[in-house]
Structure 1
Amino acid sequence: MARLFKTFFISAIAFAHVQACTSTAPKAAPDIPEFTSTLEAARLEDGAVGFATALIDDGELIYAKGFGETELGGGAPITPNHIFHWASVSKPLVATAIMQLSERGQLSLDANLVEILPDYRITDPRQRDITIRQILLHTSGIPDVEDYNWDKPEYDEEALMRWALTDSPRDLLFDPGTERKYSNVGYEILGAVIERISGMSFEEYMSANIFEPLGMKSASFIYPDTEKALRTVGHAGARGEKHRIEHYPYNRRHGPSSTLNTSVMSFAPFAQALLAGGSLGETHVLNAETLADMWAPRWMIDEENAESGAMGWVVENRPGRARMVRHFGWDDGFRSALLLFPDTKQAVLFVTNDEDANLRAYLFPALDMLKERASGEN
């Protein structure tokens, strides 16, 4: 009963905040015919089933369009409002939620995991040393998921906590804080942390504190809640050999690491808010100082390409190029990318219902156009 009351109370506050704010829902973006022709030619050459993309320049949504079809051989034409599975692009949202709790004084990033989740099953004494910051940075030593069981999804509200506390793989790969190894399990545990601190389910917290305030109407971590008419079907296979993925990648226990469902239009306000320093209009997501802390490079991944791990993101600082803060996603039937350029307030959002699509064929033209706009050539 206490959790139910707390959930209702926090949700009511969030709803009142949304009602008081000016609308942040993105307006329809104008077409850029030449760019559209370039992307469609790339899709035909690549043989991708479909995709949607959106561009932000100087903090404004300047382009949003869909290409191809929702399902091979008879699906509806994709629009920028169609909903896709974004896979690991879920993680920047989880990191943002953790930073919100830290900003509000409800969570210390240097707290030990077992302080927050004392019922976390210990199988290695080193697990007592794992901190929230290490999980955000993928330096905790927690192993990765071995089988997502997408074809055997769990839907109940306890699925995430059950997985995080007892069922997930946990034999540490190294001493916490000494190496970096990407871990989806770590982010699923962060989802359990959000649940424990907020008293809400992970999905309720994300909706009340990010999606609703920003007007992200189609965004949900619960696939059955998405609008059926706007769903897309995942595909795989080489050009000319595309086939439908029979299962949609959804399992509630993996929500925080992988199950963001949304459209590029609905996702755009999140990118705009971060590019604006953490707020969009009157809607506050993070303080600018908290955002800078989240994006601070803390662990070198690839010295040659100047890639560093940040909390929930990867940062690229290459000579002669604008700083990029980004995350990619790749899952059964889908691929995605969220690329932010904080110094020029630019972004690329891209998602496809074809896991074998060549992302470079679509991202490079987008990056070239944004670079031209930043230099004043357009």
Structure 2
Amino acid sequence: MITKKFSYIFLFIILLTTIFHHPFSVSVQAAESFNTEDIDEFVTAYIDRNGLPGASIVVVKDGELVYEKGYGHDSKGNPITEKSLMRIGSASKSFTAFAVLQLVDEGKIQLDAPVINYLPEVKLNDPRWKDVTIRQVLSHTSGIPNPTIVPPASTLKAGVERVNDWKLQSNPGEKYYYSNANYWILAFLVEKVSGMEFSQYLKQKVFSPLGMNDSLTTVNTGDFVKGLPKGHVTAYGTAMPWTELEAMNTGAGSIISTASDMGKWLSMQTNEGKTETGEQLLSKKLLEESYSPQLGSKKYGLGWELSSPDVKPTRISHSGVETTYQTQQDIIPSSGYAVAVLLNSFTPTLEHAYEISSGIIQLTEGQEPEIKAPVPTIIDLSLGVITLIYLILGIRGILRSKKWSAKRKKHPAWKFILRLVPQLVPTILIGWLFFIVPTLQNNSSTTLDAFGLFPAAMVLLGMVFIIGLALSILRIYFRITIK
């Protein structure tokens, strides 16, 4: 009987996948010409099909603005525009690297000098640390591990001090290991060498010259910012306003910006490091170096991700993912186009910002972008079906708990407990994930934060936990009380 029920359920999931999987192409004038109406149609269709609350995009070419627009709404119901503030996550690393390279340009930093020459107070618990160079930290080849749990900090200095107990996970310059801690250290380096707070340095040396008047940086991702509404987390084909997971991420993911401001940033990047007024913010030589693969890091330059050879056209990029926002910035050297996509939502199973940017790039190449199946929705709905199955079977098990215990009343205690293992083990593990992990390392996160990382999966795990706990308690209770 159960096998037959499962057959029906799996048939339903296959039908659901078939319905959603049918892709469609946006009708564009394509091939010969590229126009902004094509972008508008594509982005509108994409966010509608994937249940995204909003998006803000900008396109530039050879230092000139081509198109900027917002779509959808924010968590307060206000329309998203190209001026809407959003967290750009790890796309902030490009700005941090740019600031370091400006100091290299000025002769205040040597790119291949050891970090300890400038930051003697940063002392990893590893003798190899003395050999780690600025270039290696910029290119994620320093060997510094990437922390999983990042508590907030009162200052950047306090956050950087945490690495003093760490050890390198590889020899300096040997392997690429992406680590946010690299960019905490670089932000601290900018502070020490320039004599300005990192946020003030970016404002004076990068944001202001570019006219990025709405952009700013914070110490913690949870810090209050006027005019910045909550982002969202997607689940079951829709989006819920959610509170950003708080963590110290200065230099690695702390910038808040707008599509319009990102357009000014990318205009400079595609104009040989010059602002629209002709001011040279970074030498062409160092700008090109930032786009170049580094020793031990073929897929990362200095603050920029480099596309693999099979990606056409070649891209110089950096994505950014927060727990309620996603960002993608792409530069296409072969065409001179650059694109930034800012989303006020986080989807755990797909980087929609990358997909939207890819579609826009296809349009700039005279191709028709295909809007694929809403895979995250399919995954979430499938998990929802499994959750429902587990709930039904769990209720059935709870109702039969007394009978189950009665049949095993005469079993020895060890054998009875052994029969409870299938419920106890997942219940203990999920309980550890929900209630213990969020408290590790003085983390400020909560069980609710954990839920927001992947709602559909967490609902399933929550159901497994509740059913497992109820079954274990009832079966033990009935064994004790039945005479």
Report the TM-score when normalising by structure 1: 0.80
Which of the residues 263, 267, 270 maps onto 2:262? 267
Aligned positions, number: 326
Q: Give the aligned partner of residue 243 of structure 1.
A: 240
Q: Percent identity?
A: 25
Deviations 1:17-76 (A, max 9, x none): xxxxxxxxxxxxxx93342122111111101111111111233211111111111xx520
Deviation at 1:360, TM superposition (A): 4.9
Which of the residues 121, 146, 159 maps onto 1:144? 146
Q: Give the aligned partner of residue 283 of structure 1.
A: 279
Deviations 1:317-342 (A, max 9, x none): 63794432110111111110010123
Instruction: For residue 283 of structure 1, give the secondary structure of its aligned residue in structure 2.
Output: coil
Deviation at 1:270, TM superposition (A): 1.2
Q: In structure 1, how many angstroms separate the alpha carbons of the residues matched to 2:55 and 2:238?
A: 18
1:208 aligns with 2:210: no
Instruction: For residue 346 of structure 2, give the secondary structure of its aligned residue in structure 1.
Output: coil
Instruction: For residue 89 of structure 2, give the secondary structure of its aligned residue in structure 1.
Output: coil
Deviation at 1:165, TM superposition (A): 3.0
Q: Which amino acid aligns with 2:362?
A: D
Q: Give the aligned partner of residue 82 of structure 1.
A: 84
Q: Give the aligned partner of residue 66 of structure 2.
A: 62
Deviations 1:257-310 (A, max 9, x none): 011100010121111111110112222210111111221122576xxxxx6211
Structure 2 gaps of 5+ residues are: 1-34, 368-483
Runs of 4+ with deviation above 6 angstroms:
none
Instruction: For residue 39 of structure 1, give the secondary structure of its aligned residue in structure 2.
Output: helix
Is the contact between residue 219 and residue 263 of structure 1 (CA under 8 Å) also seen in structure 2? yes
Structure 1 gaps of 5+ residues are: 1-30, 302-306, 374-378
Which of the residues 359, 364, 369 maps onto 2:363? 369
Q: In structure 2, how many angstroms separate the alpha carbons of the residues matched to 1:208 and 1:60?
A: 23
Q: Give the aligned partner of residue 14 of structure 1.
A: none
Q: Give the aligned partner of residue 308 of structure 1.
A: 299
Which of the residues 50, 72, 97 maps onto 1:46? 50
Q: In structure 1, how many angstroms separate the alpha carbons of the residues matched to 2:354 and 2:89?
A: 18
Deviations 1:105-148 (A, max 9, x none): 00001111111111113311111111111000100011112223
Q: In structure 2, how many angstroms separate the alpha carbons of the residues matched to 1:118 and 1:257?
A: 21
Which of the residues 310, 330, 339 maps onto 1:339? 330
Instruction: For residue 351 of structure 1, give the secondary structure of its aligned residue in structure 2.
Output: strand
The two structures, once aligned, show a CA RMSD in angstroms of: 2.2
Q: Give the aligned partner of residue 350 of structure 1.
A: 341
Which of the residues 120, 125, 128 maps onto 1:126? 128
Question: For the pair shown, which has the larger CA radius of gyration, 1 or 2?
Answer: 2
Is the contact between residue 62 and residue 267 of structure 2 (CA under 8 Å) also seen in structure 1? no
Q: In structure 2, how many angstroms separate the alpha carbons of the residues matched to 1:342 and 1:59?
A: 12
Q: Structure 1 pair 169/136, CA: closer, same or farther in 2 (3 Å)?
A: farther
Q: In structure 2, how many angstroms separate the alpha carbons of the residues matched to 1:122 and 1:145?
A: 14
Instruction: For residue 88 of structure 1, give the secondary structure of its aligned residue in structure 2.
Output: helix
Q: Which amino acid aligns with 2:263?
A: A
The one of the two structures with greater contact order (alpha-carbon pairs below 8 A, sep at least 6) is 1
The answer to which structure has the higher helix fraction is 2
